[in-house]
Structure 1
């Protein structure tokens, strides 16, 4: 039987030094076709990306989300946050996700994949669920980004509950939304690299 590795609990993680996040100087907001083309050129030069999406939360019973509203892609140096309301921007985002040969790594991606197929009409290629890698290596069922950062870097990944449940469909994203979204993808590519994938 495979050896189980312990994972730190919430209290142990709270004592760790903070994970160094990307600042706004290394985050690019992409909301037009022209910006998306620039992002495409930069991203396709990298062999793998951290990947995540955000959707406007639904609070009413029976309310269906028309998300994702944003797509985050990150290299170890920089992150791009694509707003998906502009058709030209959405088309480039779909093209990026459909590209083969580039790993797109993240946590808890099942829902993201379904929504991408519905919203962007593409089957994302090269999706790598990092929880699966940790499971294969003898860790608990779902590590999530916080557990992974704690185990690999002995650091605490901070997530703002306020940003998490904010309106991602807004035309103007706040600085805290940008930092939150970009760093989910950034932490994923850092974990991917640290795992030697």
Structure 2
């Protein structure tokens, strides 16, 4: 199957939405937790978290355009400056997925989807108790994108994960705690480690056939 640009533009809306959202392959599956200044908790699923740098440690994610009545995540981040990123595991993918629902103002996804809310030390924003890898983030800036979305940049302030989930090189074992990825908008895939390769130096490149 082959689509030219003009053909892509003319595809049925939902078909095009699913195709373009899945064409980039497996994306990270995370829940982003926030809390308002009035202490109202919010958690929502995101598949756009990306690594920006390790020194300083920074992560970014894509926030959809904010409508006349914005969703809670972005206002909470702007108001308080803090949020959490929580890896999704196989054991709670259904609960995690349904946090994408548009709930009434003031209704918490933690409560509705029966997800545990957890606070670590004096970090302001709530973590997801069921998550094996928890990241505390401090908001830095948002960059407007051409499509009306925002690229939200934050610094890593706190990391929490099981001792057995990391090796002596600092590499996380995503398969070991049944981490998942997202393809498109609503398909979840298990993660299986296939191979680990060395840092590539030109004089160490093998002869490929």
Instruction: Tell me which interval the TM-score lies in, with the shorter structure as reference length.
Output: under 0.3
TM-score by length of 2: 0.27
Larger RCO, structure (CA 8 Å, separation 6 or more): 1
Higher share in helix: 1
TM-score by length of 1: 0.28
Higher share in strand: 2
Larger Rg: 2
